[in-house]
Structure 1
Amino acid sequence: MNGKVVVITGGTSGIGQVAAEALAAQGARVVLVARDKARGEATLKRLKPGQAHSLYIADLASIGATRALAAQIAAAEPRIDVLINNAGALFNSRRLSPDGLELTFALNHMAYFVLTEGLLDRLKATPGARVVSTASRAHQGSRLDFEDLQAAKSYSGFEVYGRSKLANILFTRELARRLAGSGVVANCLHPGFVATRFGDQSGGMLQRLMPLAKLMAVTPKAGADTIIHLASSPEVESQTGLYFYKRMPVAPSAEAQDDAAAARLWAESERLAAQAG
């Protein structure tokens, strides 16, 4: 990874922080995106020095803020070797983003979509560039309801989270199709159930149950391993549009392999992004 530039969201804790530290240790220069400045600066100090790592502060739940972030990074970085879409959350009750979208959908899917789209020119200009998106096995059993993507009719934190992770896989599938022949590969992964800060701010009974559930979780180091693999391994340079677990491509659910749904989600995401201005 010597001399390579890695942009990562959700890199101030958990698997994202482990991945950022590991890739910096391999020689990459890390462009860290954080919501909280203090935690972002603390993470920067943990990265291997001498690589001129940088930090950007943004609310990824806001389409406008994410679009502005992408423009800032694109202006500062003539090349981007790896984009890691990793920020995400689960909320026990329905909340709205600054754009009026359901917050899980906005943060877990639209942020991936808008940031990636804003950095595509830089990725395409970089030989062997990669997009790595954190999905989850939680997508199993989920199906997108295009008539209610914002979960206005009914809301369950786990169900909405599962649909957002299905969206991550469909996004990766359609992105890989659109990038065919460009030299950029796009893959996603299930990191496992990891003992991180995930769910700590979800609210309600879910937040109270998380500490017990995490007793059975894998470590952030184990969860980050496949992210690091997809970002750096020569084995992945020609693999694209796939869903990985423990470094191996595995089959996601049938719904996650629906090309028509992937194309429809892309079109709807474009519409929502344009609507946000």
Structure 2
Amino acid sequence: MEQIQTGPVAGKTVLITGGTAGIGRATALGLATMNARVAITGRDRRRTADAARAIRAAGGEQVDVFVADLSSEAEVRRLADEILQRLPRIDVLINNVGGYWNTRHVTADGLERTLALNHLAPFLLTNLLLDRLKQNTSARVVTVASNAHATGRIDFDDLQGEHSYSGARAYNQSKLANVLFTYELARRLRDTSVTANALHPGVVSTSFGSEDPGAAQRLFVPVLRPFMKTPVQGAATSIHVASAPDLEHVTGLYFANSKPKSSSNRSYDQTAATQLWQVSADLVGLSAPLGRGV
């Protein structure tokens, strides 16, 4: 007997980057149980397949799997091409992938990894998928930022930490970039059917940053872990912003605990947002961001 699809995302296609673990996996599981067609990206083929099996076991009937290292521009472009070939529609794009590195790492493109993965990857992927998103009567771009953005600053003179690097400073800058990008995207899409919002998931107990942790993470995370949110709790705001019917036309906001809130003063700097957009487009070789006439 065919399952009757009900609910705000039933039958809709939701693409979640970094959907193999932590908040991303919990987000995918939650949306799948709401009868969404879920698509996830992951860097590791085995872990991505394992996540897909878990989503199907939880009731997700349609799960699409994409494998790509989003710190690489070529991989982001290949991923976008594959998505456009395999997904006839995208109703929601959740830019969830992210990372933290205490020491400076450089990608295959010669870019600082935190900036490349946390900001440039969602910037490029969103632009490459935008025409598909705009084909819907209503679509959403949801970007997972962090309250760490409040202490972030966009250092245009040393954007990639070549002269002075700090893992925390690079991470905070990338999260501020997420919010600036979201607000600028919302402004550029104001005459379209696509909304753009950012969110803080809370302080969540995951393996985030474990590849290259700083001293503070090694010392304090084990002590604080019992007081952190679970991945399911951390995914709640992502699920809400992606699915709530009353947010269908709401754009350019920042959410925490599933409610809109003010972000930092720096995040509302439109001059910085415009400059960051152009610098980002140059770094990823995007000659016409947003494409055709937007």
Identify whether the pair has TM-score above 0.5, normalized to the shorter chain: yes
| Residue type of the alignment partner of 1:9 | T
- Residue 150 in 1 paired to residue 160 in 2? yes
Partner SS state of residue 19, structure 2: coil
> Is the 2:111–2:160 contact (alpha carbons within 8 Å) kept by the matching residues of 1?
yes
Report the counterpart of residue 67 of structure 2 in structure 1.
57
SS of corresponding position for 1:189? strand
Kindly provide the amino acid, as one letter, of the partner of residue 119 in structure 2: H
How many equivalent pairs are there?
Answer: 276
Offset at residue 275 of structure 1 (A): 7.9
1:135 to 110, 129, 145: 145
1:19 aligns to what?
A: 27
State the Cα RMSD in Å: 1.5
1:55-88 deviations in Å (ceiling 9; x for gaps): 1100100011101101110122121000000010
| TM-score, normalisation: structure 2 | 0.91
Structure 1 residue ranges without an equivalent (≥5): none
Amino acid at match of 1:175: L
Q: Which runs of 4+ in 1 moved over 6 A?
A: none
Match of 1:7 in 2: 15
Q: Is the 8 A contact 2:253 2:260 kept in 1?
A: yes
What is the aligned partner in structure 1 of residue 274 from structure 2? 263
What TM-score comes out, normalization by structure 1 length? 0.96
2: CA distance, partners of 1:199 / 1:211: 13
Q: Secondary structure at the match of 2:284?
A: helix
Q: After the TM superposition, which residues 1-277 of structure 1 pair with which residues of structure 2 at under 5 Å, given as runs?
A: 1-48=9-56, 49=59, 51-206=61-216, 208-209=218-219, 210-274=221-285
Q: By how many angstroms is 1:216 displaced? A: 2.7
Output the CA distance in 1 between the equivalents of 2:159 and 2:60: 44
- Partners of 2:43 and 2:211 in 1: CA distance: 14
Task: Structure 2 unaligned segments of length 5 or more: list them.
Answer: 1-8, 288-294
Q: Secondary structure at the match of 2:255?
A: strand
SS at match of 2:69: coil
SS across alignment from 2:156: coil
